[in-house]
A and B are shown apart, each in its own frame.
Chain A
Amino acid sequence: MYLARVLGRVVATRKVPGLEGVALQWIQPLDEAGEASGKALVACAAVSSGPGDLVHFVDGREGALACPRPFVPVDAAIMGFVEEAVVRGKHIGRT
């Protein structure tokens, strides 16, 4: 799992069966200092996250397991909110 910041929301009406009602959000993965690391990607949201939130997400096939129906082509999913992360005494919190 990785830390990320939610950047925004994606709207898609036409989706494969099983993804109805699943929210899609752009997220920016973060490094241990809370700085952007790598490219932004789109993830399914298993929690009611929104832009600005600090979250953790899982990538790969496991992402599909976080969705209401697990047999869906999902390779990244937001698993939960991060209230605060502490790395070597430095706090990475919500904005």
Chain B
Amino acid sequence: MLIGQVLGSVVATQKDERLEALKLLVVRVHDHENNPTEQYVVAVDAVQAGHGDLVLFATGSSARQTELTEGKPCDAVIMAVVDSWDLDGKNVYEKWREGP
């Protein structure tokens, strides 16, 4: 899995009918030191993530292993909202510190 920040949502009217009612979000990938990278993904939201949230997403066939995405043409799914992380005991990210 990778961590990224939710930057926006995708509206697509014409799409595979199995993707109807799924929320698609644009996620900018961050590295382990919380620096944004130039990598972006569109992922299905399975956890009601909000704009600006740092989220964990899984890619590949694993992304189909949720009730929401099972059997659907989806290769990236947001599966958790990140509260915090540390590296070697040193705090890198803390959600409450980011503010609304």
Residue among A28, A39, A73 making CB contact with B79, cutoff 8 Å: A73
- A27–B61 Cα gap in the complex (Å)? 21
A40 contacts the other chain (Cβ, under 8 Å)? yes
A47 contacts the other chain (Cβ, under 8 Å)? no
B80 contacts the other chain (Cβ, under 8 Å)? yes
What residues of B have a CB within 8 angstroms of the CB of A82 in the complex? none
The 0/1 profile, CB within 8 Å of B marked 1, for residues 40-54 of chain A is 111100000001100
Number of A-B residue pairs at CB separation under 8 A: 104
Residue among B65, B67, B80, B86 making CB contact with A64, cutoff 8 Å: B65
- A14–B81 Cα gap in the complex (Å)? 5
**Nearest-CB residue, chain B, relative to A44:** B1
Count chain B residues whose beta carbon lies closer than 8 angstroms to a beta carbon of A.
34
Report the minimum CB–CB distance from B54 to chain A (whole Å).
9
Contact A7 B89 (CB under 8 A): no
**Nearest-CB residue, chain A, relative to B61:** A61
* Size bracket, chain A contacts: 20 to 34
Q: A11-B84, A16-B47, A24-B56 are in contact. Are A42 and B1 (CB under 8 A)?
A: yes
What residues of B have a CB within 8 angstroms of the CB of A75 in the complex? 1, 58-60, 62-63
Contact A12 B83 (CB under 8 A): yes
The 0/1 profile, CB within 8 Å of B marked 1, for residues 65-86 of chain A is 0000001111110000000000
Residue among A11, A14, A60 making CB contact with B60, cutoff 8 Å: A60
Give B contacts to A, CB under 8 Å: 1-3, 31-32, 46-48, 56, 58-67, 69, 77, 79-90, 92
